[in-house]
Amino acid sequence: MKTILTGLRANSVFTIGNYLGALLPMVRLAKEHSGDYHVNLFVPDLHSLISEVDGGDLQANIMQSIKFYIAAGLPLNDNVHVYRQSRVPAHSELCWILNCVATMGEMNRMTQYKEKSEGKASVNVGIFDYPVLMAGDILLYSAEYIPVGEDQFQHIELARNLATRFNNRYGEVFTVPVSTAEQVKFMGVADGIRIRDLLNPEKKMSKSTKAENSKIMLDDTPEKAAKKIMSATTDSLGKIKFDMFNQPGVSNLLQIEALVSGVPLQDVVSTWAGETKYGDLKKKVASSVSGMLSEFQVRIEKSTEEQVYELLEKGEEYANRVANAKLLEVQKAVGLR
């Protein structure tokens, strides 16, 4: 049985970018395929440590992120596995072995590393190395499909390269994930999804961005979210058009509207073609997003800690079994066993 796998860093509450770009596509795939695929939705808690975190907050965020998975509609059947990365030590083991396969040259090209380290006086090695840990997260489970936002495509390509290089050097151990072009097709989207920062639409929306008004969090009140949309940066061109290059702010609003309402982007774009009032577009998007949040927040209230622990117990037993078997193959291939 093939595996679909994804994880969202639990360093804070998720943004609507995480939700629309990764969580919702994953849940949709899980609903469609969990009859005949394994679906691994894990909490990459080791990845959380690349930003400074408070231990107590981390535990609370882990709990909340799993409640988000459930509230987003994750089907809870036997083929769906929810686990915490740090409860499966094989992840860190494999990371070291893959570190010895990855090269400084390819790691230096990672744009997420450049963005996350920009302007910082001191950068931890984890920020540089986390794409290798991520490659291990994928390869341990022989996952072929990894629904992620567009910002993570480069890391999927890295995982493919490391798997191929390892196999060439040590024998066929890893399943190589499909290319990002095929990932997009499998996810059923035209392109990779990248929701933009509301204040600086040239950048992607990120949960770790400091400015509150640049991002909408899944626990924002619907009113607060509406206000943030109303104050989003647009431009002075006065035409509602989808043009990410020249009008990223307006295009972002159209994109959010399409994903939240479930209407194809071209249809949303043609509905607004010829319109000029950005205020009207913002009101529509604000109302769609606040509607989505109020429904989501009702569902979150319904999931309980007991439900989460039950899922984790089952998921972590499965994950350790699969990951340890793959790690042993790797250890044998490189001569450690």
Examine the residue annotation and report whether 114 is marked as an active-site residue of this protein.
no
Question: Taking CB under 6 A as the rule, does residue 136 contact ligand ATP?
Answer: no
**Binding residue (CB under 6 A) for ligand ATP from 131, 136, 149, 222:** 149
Alpha carbon 191 to its chain centroid, in Å, reads 15
Question: Taking CB under 6 A as the rule, does residue 195 contact ligand ATP?
Answer: yes
Nearer Cβ to ligand ATP (124/331): 124
CA distances from 170 to 137, 179, 248, 274, 304 (A): 19, 22, 46, 59, 45
Nearer Cβ to ligand ATP (130/174): 130
* Binding residue count for ligand ATP, defined by CB under 6 A: 20
**Binding residue (CB under 6 A) for ligand ATP from 206, 247, 255, 303:** 206
- Residue 173: CB partners within 8 Å, gap ≥ 6? 166, 167, 326, 329, 330, 333
Question: Taking CB under 6 A as the rule, does residue 74 contact ligand ATP?
Answer: no
**Binding residue (CB under 6 A) for ligand ATP from 3, 4, 5, 9:** 9
Nearer Cβ to ligand ATP (18/180): 18
**DSSP bridge pairs for 204:** 196
- Tell me, residue by residue from 164 to 183, as one string, x for binding to ligand ATP by CB under 6 A and - for no binding: --------------------
**DSSP bridge pairs for 171:** none
Question: Taking CB under 6 A as the rule, does residue 208 contact ligand ATP?
Answer: yes
Nearer Cβ to ligand ATP (22/285): 22
CA distances from 4 to 30, 80, 95, 269 (A): 8, 10, 20, 31
Instruction: Please tell me whether residue 322 adopts helix, strand or coil conformation.
Output: helix
Q: Give the CB-side neighbour count of residue 246, counting CA atoms within 13 A.
A: 8
What are the backbone angles phi and psi of residue 2, rounded to the nearest 5°? -75, 165
Looking at the annotation, which residues are catalytic?
116, 204, 207
Binding site for ligand ATP (CB under 6 A): 8-9, 11, 15, 17-18, 21-22, 148-149, 151-152, 193-195, 204-208
